Structure 1
Amino acid sequence: MTESFLYLTRLGIDTHQEPVVYMREDCHVCRSEGFDAQGRVEICSGKNSIIATLDIVKGDLLSHQKAGLSEAAWRLLGAAEGDKATFRHAPPVESMAYVRGKLYGKPFTEEGARHIIRDIDAGRYSDIQLSAYVTACAANNLNIEETIHITRAMVEAGQRFDWGDGRIVVDKHCVGGLPGNRTTPIVVAIAAANGLTMPKTSSRAITSPAGTADTMETLTRVSLSFKKMRAVVEQEGACLAWGGSVSLSPTDDIIIRVERALDLDSEGQMVASVISKKVAAGSTHVLIDIPVGPTAKVRSAELAERLANALRDTGEALGLRIKTIISDGSQPVGRGVGPALEAYDLLKVLQNQADAPADLRDRALAVTAAVLEMGGACEAREGLALAKKTLESGKAWEKFQAICNAQGGLREPPVARFTHVITSERTGIVALMNNRVISRLASLAGAPNAQSAGLTMHVRLGDTVESGQPLMTLHAEAAGELEYALDFYAAHPEAIHIEEEVV
C-alpha cells in the first residue's frame, strides 16, 4: 500500500500572508484524497499543522514525492527541507454560517463574532472566505452591538499589555483618508518627552500609499516582539511599532490585507480595528482624529459625527476614554506622499528645519495638545503651548531618536531612482485636490511596497500657479512603475483642479 505522505520543499513563492501548498495533479496523495485546486488542505508535519490553499501543478516543477510550500506556509509550519508531511481535507469552517447569515441580513451575535474571529486567527479562512466576511461588513453594514462584539473578539484573539500600576496610558489614531498625514511620530515624541506613556502600535497601509508603520520602517525597526515592545516602552515611555508583529489584535492585519486587495473599508470593522488595538496595547485614554473633506474617507460632518459616536460607544464598552476631534480633510498634509517621502517631512518638523511643512507641524501640534491635556501633562488649554515648547526646544527630537535607537537604530530613508515633474497646463488657482486620486497615483508609482516611491506636492489649495509650474513630482524605484503612474495621471488629470482667475 502506498504511504500517504510527501516530502516538503520550499519553493520560495511569496503569497503574502496566505499559506499555499503545491502538489502535482498526478501525485498519489492528490489522487487518493481527491484534492481539487483551491481546496483547503490540512498539513501535518511532526507536532505542527496548518491549513493551506492547494494549487495544482502540471508538469515537472515538482516530483511525485514532493509537496511545495509558499513562504507563508513554510514559516507557519516551521518546516525544514525534506520533512515528511501528511495531508487531508481541512474540516469545514463552521463559522462561515454566521458570515452567510450576515450576507442575508442576520446580525452577528456575540457568539458568532467570537467564532468568526477565532477561525480567522487560526488560519481556517481562505482568502475567498475572508473576502466574504469583509464584504458582509462593508457599506456601514454593522450596527453598534455587532461592532462591539467583533471588537471584543479581536482583543481576545491576541496578547494584551497590562502596564500594571494604574497609570494613564495615552494613544492617538487618525481614521485616515489624507495622503501624507504622518503626525503620529511627532505626537508620540512630544508626549513621551513630557513623561506620558504612549505604547503606539500602527497598521500598514490598507488603501493608502503609506501607513505609520510603513513610514517608520524607513527610519527604524518596527517589527518588535511583545517582550521587546514592553522593554522599549519601559525604557523610553513610548514606542512606534507595527501592531502585526506583537500579536495585538492579530486578526486585524489579516483582515486589512483582504480589505486592501478589495479596496473596501467597513466603518464597523474600522472601529473594531482601532479600538481593539488600543485596548490590547493597554491604553486608557485615546484621541481620535477624524478628517472631513469632499475626497477624504469621511466626507461630511454628519458622517463624522456618526463615526465619532461609534468610536466613543465601542471604546467605552471596552473600558476606554475616547475623545474625538474633527479636522480639515480637504487636501494632503505635508509634501511627501509615500513611506520615505513622509519620513523626510516628519524629520524636518522634529528637527525644526526652516523648510519643514507648516501644515504638518501645526496639525501635529494641535493633536499633541489634546493628548497632553488628556494625559494630565498640563492643565486644560495649556497643551498647545507645552507642545510647541517641547518641539522648539529640541526635546521632541531627542526623544524620537531615543525611541528609534531603543527599537534598533535610526537610519536614513531611501531615495527613489526615478522622478518625473508634473506641471500645470493652465494658469489659475488651485481649487480642488482629489485625495483619492493623489493616493492612487502614489500607489501606482510603487508605494508603500517600494519605500522610496510616491509623490511630492508643490502646491496647496488657494495657491496661484502659472502654466508650466510644477504641481507635483512622482518618485519610483522602477521605470515601469513610473510610466504606469503617468498613464494613470493622463487619464485622471483632475487630481489637482486649476480654475482660471476671474478678473
Structure 2
Amino acid sequence: MTDTLALLPAGIDTYRQPVVYMHEDCHICRAEGFAAQTRVRIDLRDRWVIATLNVVGRAGWLTADSAALSVSAWSALLARPGDRARFSHPEPALSTSRIRAKAYGERLSEADFASIIGDTLEHRLTDLELAAFITACAGERLADAETVALTRAMQAAGETLDWGGRTVLDKHCVGGLPGNRTTPLVVAIVAAAGELIPKTSSRAITSPAGTADTMEVMAPVTLDERALRRVVEAEGGCVIWGGALNLSPADDHFIQIERPLNFDSTGQMVASVLSKKAAAGSTHVLIDIPVGATAKVRSAEAADALVARFLQVSAPIGLRLAVHLSDGSAPVGRGIGPALEASDVLAVLRREADAPNDLREKALDLAGKLLDLAPGSVPGTGHARAVEMLDSGSAEAKFLAICSAQGGFTEPARAPHRVEIPAQSDGTISSIDNRVIARIAKLAGAPRQKVAGVQLVAQVGDRVCKGQPLYEIHAASPGEAAWARSYAERHADVFLIAEGPR
C-alpha cells in the first residue's frame, strides 16, 4: 500500500502534542508535499490523530518506509509495532476564522468557543494558532459574557461528574505562592466535619509542586471516575489528580501556551478555574487569592478585578462562590517541593509542636470559610468547627482514611543531598522573593524529583546573624544540589535583610 508506512514507537515524550517523525526520503513525504511542521493526519484501523511532522535526515535510526510516533501519538492510536498506518493532509481547521475574528476585536459566542476547543482537542490547530487565540483573549479582551461562554464551552468539551443533587464543597487557590499546601488539610478538615469534598487537583506546570504532586508523595492520585466515587462515598473526600478524569480537557492545552507567553488574562484564568469546578460537580466553591509583590496577583487593584470576574461568571454557570484574599507576601509553610510540603501537611495534622503555624492558620481560615458556605451552616461558626476537627485528631484520622482508600499511605522520603544557604549579614528578614525561592526549588529538581526543593529555616520577621542558615536546598543528586546552589549564590537577595539592631 503506497500510502501507508510501518509504525515505530519513538519513545519521545512531547506531552499532549502528537508528533510524527518521517525520513526525508520517504515517498509519502515527497508525494504529499509534507515538510517539517506540516500537520499530518494518521489513520490506523478505526482511530486517527493529527500530528506535527518532524523530518529526520540520513541519521540511520529511521528508514524511508517507516514512521516513528511520539508517546502521545502512539497512545492515541493504540498502535502496535509493525502496524501500518495511512497518512494524508487533514481538513483545514474551521475555527481559524473565529480566531482571526477575535484578533480583530469581535465578540465570540459559546458556539465559536466550542469550535475552537473542538479543533484544539483534535490537534487541528498549531501552537502558533493557539498562541494567536490566547493572545487575542489576553488582558481584558474577554467580556463577562464571553468569559461565561468560554467557561461553558470548556466544561462541555469533557465529562461532568454528577453527585445526585448533593452539596459538593470545593476550594481553589489561584497560585503563585510557594509552599501554601492547604488543600490536603482543608479536605481532611471538611470531610471530618461531615461535608462532601471530592477534590481534583493539578500537577505543577511551572511551580515546584502542585497539589497532586504533593499528595502523590503520601498516596496514589491517578484514579479513574469509578475509583474516585468509591473513595468519596466511603470517606466523604479525596485529593486526586484531575488529569485522568477528562474534566475541561482543553484547559491543559491552553495552559501549555499561556505559561511561556506569561500573559495575565483575568478572563482566561476564571474560565480555566470555574470550568473545572463545574465539571467536577462542585456546588459551593471558595477561591483563595494570595496578593503580594512577588505573587501571581501583585496588587489590590488586580485582586479586585479578579474577584469581580469570578463573581460575575460563577452565578450564570450555577456555582455559589466566595473569595478569600490572603497574604501573598512570602511562602506559606517551611517546605517548597512535593515531599517537603507533604511533611508540613503531616506536621499540622499530627499537631506537632514545631508544625508551621502559618500553614495551620491559613488552612483553618479556608476550611472555616468553606464550612460557613455550606447550606444549613450557622454563619461564623465554621472556623471553630475547623479547629475542633484539627485539634481533636479527627482531621488526621480522616486524612489517613482517605489515603488508605486511594491506595495506601506512605511517609514522605528525605533528600540525600542538602546544602545550607547562610545569611550574608546581621539583621531582620523583611521579605522573601516568592519567584526566586521557587526557582531555586525547581533547579534542585522539584517537582520531578519528589524529595527535592527548599526547606525554609528562617521566615519574615526573624532576627538572623551573618552565617546563620536561611534555608536548605534539598536534592536527589549532587549535580542538582550544586546547580541550585550556584543560582542561589547569585541571588542572595532572595531574603531581604534589614541590617542593624532591632
Aligned residues: 501
User: What is the CA distance between 1:107 and its match in structure 2?
Assistant: 3.4
Contact residue 14 and residue 71 of structure 1 kept, 8 A? yes
Contact residue 18 and residue 127 of structure 1 kept, 8 A? no
Contact residue 206 and residue 259 of structure 1 kept, 8 A? no
Q: Is it true that 1:112 corresponds to 2:112 in the alignment?
A: yes
Residue matched to 2:434: 435
Q: Is it true that 1:152 corresponds to 2:152 in the alignment?
A: yes
Contact residue 174 and residue 290 of structure 1 kept, 8 A? yes
Contact residue 341 and residue 454 of structure 1 kept, 8 A? yes
Residue matched to 2:373: 374
Superposed, which structure 2 residues align to 1:192-341 within 5 Å?
Answer: 192-341=191-340
State how far apart, in whole Å, the 2-side matches of 1:95 and 1:393 are. Answer: 56
Residue matched to 1:78: 78
User: What is the CA distance between 1:264 and its match in structure 2?
Assistant: 4.1
Distance 1:242 1:377, change over 3 A: farther
Aligned AA for 2:139?
A: A
Residue matched to 1:163: 163
User: What is the CA distance between 1:391 and its match in structure 2?
Assistant: 0.8
State how far apart, in whole Å, the 1-side matches of 2:161 and 2:376 are. Answer: 22
SS in 2 for 1:459: coil
Superposed, which structure 2 residues align to 1:350-499 within 5 Å?
Answer: 350-376=349-375, 378-499=377-498
Distance 1:179 1:148, change over 3 A: same
Contact residue 427 and residue 501 of structure 2 kept, 8 A? no
Compare 292-301 and 465-474 and name the one that shifted more. 292-301
Aligned AA for 1:16?
A: Y
State how far apart, in whole Å, the 2-side matches of 1:140 and 1:421 are. Answer: 43
> What are the superposed Cα offsets for residues 73-129 of structure 1, whole Å, 9 maximum, x if unpaired?
111111111111000112222212222333333333322211111211223233333
SS in 2 for 1:317: coil
State how far apart, in whole Å, the 2-side matches of 1:490 and 1:74 are. Answer: 43
Aligned AA for 1:106?
A: E
State how far apart, in whole Å, the 2-side matches of 1:267 and 1:340 are. Answer: 31
> What are the superposed Cα offsets for residues 197-238 of structure 1, whole Å, 9 maximum, x if unpaired?
111111222332111111112221211112221222122111
Aligned AA for 2:378?
A: E
State how far apart, in whole Å, the 2-side matches of 1:9 and 1:132 are. Answer: 33
State how far apart, in whole Å, the 2-side matches of 1:101 and 1:482 are. Answer: 49
Residue matched to 2:141: 141
Aligned AA for 2:4?
A: F
SS in 2 for 1:50: strand
State how far apart, in whole Å, the 2-side matches of 1:491 and 1:213 are. Answer: 31
Aligned AA for 2:324?
A: I
SS in 2 for 1:272: helix
State how far apart, in whole Å, the 2-side matches of 1:343 and 1:467 are. Answer: 30
TM-score normalised by the chain length of structure 2: 0.96
State how far apart, in whole Å, the 1-side matches of 2:271 and 2:450 are. Answer: 28
| Structure 1, unaligned runs of 5 or more | none
Compare 402-411 and 69-78 and name the one that shifted more. 402-411
User: What is the CA distance between 1:490 and its match in structure 2?
Assistant: 3.2
> What are the superposed Cα offsets for residues 39-65 of structure 1, whole Å, 9 maximum, x if unpaired?
111100111100111110111211122
RMSD: 1.7
Contact residue 226 and residue 247 of structure 1 kept, 8 A? no
Contact residue 42 and residue 85 of structure 2 kept, 8 A? yes
State how far apart, in whole Å, the 2-side matches of 1:208 and 1:429 are. Answer: 27
Residue matched to 2:37: 38
Aligned AA for 1:280?
A: A
Contact residue 203 and residue 253 of structure 1 kept, 8 A? no
SS in 1 for 2:51: strand
User: What is the CA distance between 1:4 and its match in structure 2?
Assistant: 1.2
User: What is the CA distance between 1:347 and its match in structure 2?
Assistant: 1.0
SS in 2 for 1:76: helix
SS in 2 for 1:385: helix
SS in 2 for 1:218: helix
Compare 77-86 and 468-477 and name the one that shifted more. 468-477
SS in 1 for 2:315: helix
Aligned AA for 2:63?
A: S
Distance 1:56 1:397, change over 3 A: same
User: What is the CA distance between 1:163 and its match in structure 2?
Assistant: 1.0
Contact residue 207 and residue 263 of structure 1 kept, 8 A? no
Aligned AA for 1:122?
A: E
